[in-house]
Amino acid sequence: MAKPDFWKNNKNYYDLKSYWRNLFGCNVHKLQIDAGFTCPNRDGHVATGGCIYCDGRGSKLRQQGILPSVAEQIINGKKYYAKQAVKYIAYFQTFTNTYAPVEKLRALYDEALVQEDVIGLSIGTRPDCLGPDVVELLGEYAKKYHIWVELGLQSAHDKTLQFINRGHNFQQFADAVNSLAGRGLNICVHIIIGLPGENNKDVLATAKTLADLPVNGIKIHSLLALEGTILGAMYKKGTISMITKEKYVSLAADVLEILPPEMVIQRLTADGYRDIFLAPDWAMNKLDVLNSINKELERRNSYQGKNYGTTL
């Protein structure tokens, strides 16, 4: 098997930019939206304190004060790309963007979709915030628009999910994926490499599990220790260590080899957090990490999907 022609890119994996260019024939950008949601893993509905790596601050806009409306955020975001002929995906990013009654969700999503050149939504959420009425609503949108549902998972291992205080288990995630599947929705899953207590085999098992589910995209990043988080405190106390760049690059390449060639790689590094960043220092150089992963795949004469379907 060779690197697939349908990617039409010069990378060793199928990146989001190429996927959207192939699908829509133009550049497509995500516009980040903070619609004022909270998270049940922070407000006591599921748990308090949140995931141990989560800083709980929300977007920069939220930190600055009163949030502009969804429409205003889109209009402002589009100015940034004004010189490029593009379409947009409204990315409901901050906290849990299905954590409200469906009528409120419908109003917020509609506010985004009526904006000029917005062709779809990307909705970040948790597996335990996708009740039947929400799934039904998302399926309705998928008949007319390009819709991604981004599910935080981080690891397919319950012992890890418990340690990082995700507030849900793997089965809840799998149930959510199965309820979303078959409705024309695109499912993107977030995973972290370098979680405490996980070895290489655990990471690859998570990738293999996702490769076998109806998942269309993935976001991967290394564990980050941030000031003000439980994990950050553990790092400062020396009770956990952070993954090295070499190990991350090698494992990210291993994961890409296992995933299906059609799965869209939405992210391979973490963004932002410069003001509260503790470790690992190499993770702040995003370009270097991306180049290193691509080079590692080249060194192996390999690419995303090369080991898809093989037994671990």
For ligand SF4, which residue has the nearest CB?
50
- CA distance linking residue 129 with residue 151, whole number of Å: 10
Contact between 42 and ligand SF4 by CB under 6 A: the answer reads yes
* Angstrom distances, CA of residue 118 to CA of 84, 208, 252, 279: 14, 34, 32, 36
- CA distance linking residue 98 with residue 204, whole number of Å: 29
**From the CB of 68, what's the least distance to ligand SF4, in Å?**
20
Interface mask toward ligand SF4 for 127-166; x: CB under 6 A: -------------------------x--------------
Applying CB under 6 A, the span of 35-43, 67-75, 176-184, 230-238 interacting with ligand SF4 comes to: 35-43
Applying CB under 6 A, the span of 38-46, 110-118, 139-147, 245-253 interacting with ligand SF4 comes to: 38-46
Contact between 232 and ligand SF4 by CB under 6 A: the answer reads no
**From the CB of 297, what's the least distance to ligand SF4, in Å?**
29
Contact between 126 and ligand SF4 by CB under 6 A: the answer reads yes
**From the CB of 95, what's the least distance to ligand SF4, in Å?**
5
Dihedral angle sign, alpha carbons of residues 134, 140, 142, 147: negative
Q: How many residues does the chain have?
A: 312
* Token pair in block for residue 103: 């009528």
Segment 242-301, which members bind ligand SF4 (CB under 6 A)? none
**From the CB of 173, what's the least distance to ligand SF4, in Å?**
12
Contact between 39 and ligand SF4 by CB under 6 A: the answer reads yes
**From the CB of 154, what's the least distance to ligand SF4, in Å?**
9
Contact between 50 and ligand SF4 by CB under 6 A: the answer reads yes
- CA distance linking residue 243 with residue 157, whole number of Å: 18
Strand ranges in the chain using DSSP code E only, listed in sequence order: 27-33, 86-92, 118-125, 146-154, 186-193, 217-222, 225-226, 264-267, 277-279
How many CA atoms does the CB half-sphere of 104 hold within 13 Å?
A: 8
Dihedral angle sign, alpha carbons of residues 220, 235, 56, 288: negative
| Of the residues 14, 16, 28, 41, which one makes contact with ligand SF4 according to CB under 6 A | 41
User: Where on the chain is the footprint of ligand SF4 (CB under 6 A)?
Assistant: 39, 41-42, 50-51, 54, 95, 126, 152
